[in-house]
Amino acid sequence: MRHVQGRARRAVAVVAAVLTWAGLLAGVAGCTEDGDRAGLGRMLDKAPAPEDVIRVTPEDKAEGASPDDRLLVRVRSGRLESVRVVRSQDAEETPVPGRISKDGLRWEPDEPRLALAARYTVDAVALDGHGRRSARHTTFTTYVPDKRFIGYVTPEDRSTVGTGMIVSLKFNRAIARRAAVERAVRVTAEPAVEIRPHWFGATRLDFRPEHYWKPGTQVTVALDLRDVEGAPGVYGLQRKTFSFTVGRHQVSVVDAARHTMEVRRDGALLTTVPVTAGAPKTTTYNGKMVVTEMLELTRMNGATVGFKKADGKGEYDIPDVPHAMRLTDSGTFLHGNYWADPSVFGTANVSHGCVGLRDVKGGGSDTPAGWFFDRSLVGDVVEVVHSNDKRVAPDNGLGGWNMGWTDWKAGTAVK
365 within some domain: yes
pLDDT for the residue 315? 76
Q: Examine the residue annotation and report whether 335 is marked as an active-site residue of this protein.
A: yes
Do both 156 and 258 map to the same domain?
no
Do both 69 and 135 map to the same domain?
yes
* Nearest by Cα to 124 from 86, 80, 88: 80
Do both 130 and 264 map to the same domain?
no
180 within some domain: yes
404 within some domain: no
- The CATH number of the domain holding residue 343 is 2.40.440.10
Residue of 198, 335, 352, 386 marked active site: 335
Asked whether the beta carbons of 217 and 191 are under 8 A apart, the reply is: yes
The CA-based angle 75-81-82, given to 5 degrees, is: 100
Q: What are phi and psi of 188, to 5 degrees?
A: -130, 160
Do both 266 and 392 map to the same domain?
yes
* Nearest by Cα to 285 from 382, 176, 197: 382
Asked whether the beta carbons of 230 and 177 are under 8 A apart, the reply is: yes
Q: Examine the residue annotation and report whether 354 is marked as an active-site residue of this protein.
A: yes
Do both 126 and 224 map to the same domain?
no
Do both 289 and 391 map to the same domain?
yes
Buried b (16+ CB within 10 A) or exposed e, 231-262: beebbbbbbeebebebbebbbbbbbbeebbbb
The CA-based angle 36-38-39, given to 5 degrees, is: 60
Collapsing DSSP states into helix, strand and coil, what is residue 362? coil
The CA-based angle 252-256-261, given to 5 degrees, is: 30
**What is the mean pLDDT for each group of 10 consecutive residues in the chain (415 residues)?**
47 42 42 47 68 96 94 96 95 94 97 93 95 96 94 97 98 98 98 98 98 98 96 94 98 98 97 97 97 95 75 80 96 96 97 96 94 98 98 98 98 96
Asked whether the beta carbons of 143 and 66 are under 8 A apart, the reply is: yes
32 within some domain: no
Chain centroid, CA 333 distance in Å:
30
Do both 392 and 254 map to the same domain?
yes
Give the whole-angstrom CA distance, residue 277 versus residue 339: 14
Q: Which of 85, 116, 142 is the C-terminal boundary of a domain?
A: 142
Q: Which of 142, 172, 196 is the C-terminal boundary of a domain?
A: 142
Do both 372 and 278 map to the same domain?
yes
pLDDT for the residue 58? 97
Number of domains in the chain: 3
- The CATH number of the domain holding residue 156 is 2.60.40.3710
405 within some domain: no
Do both 281 and 394 map to the same domain?
yes
Do both 302 and 391 map to the same domain?
yes
90 within some domain: yes
Q: What are phi and psi of 304, to 5 degrees?
A: -75, -15
87 within some domain: yes
pLDDT for the residue 106? 97
Q: In what helix (H) or strand (E) does residue 143 lie, and over which residues does it extend?
A: none
Do both 176 and 316 map to the same domain?
no
Do both 265 and 308 map to the same domain?
yes
Give the whole-angstrom CA distance, residue 134 versus residue 207: 53
pLDDT for the residue 92? 87
Provide the residue range defining the domain that includes 343.
250-399
25 within some domain: no
- The CATH number of the domain holding residue 126 is 2.60.40.3780
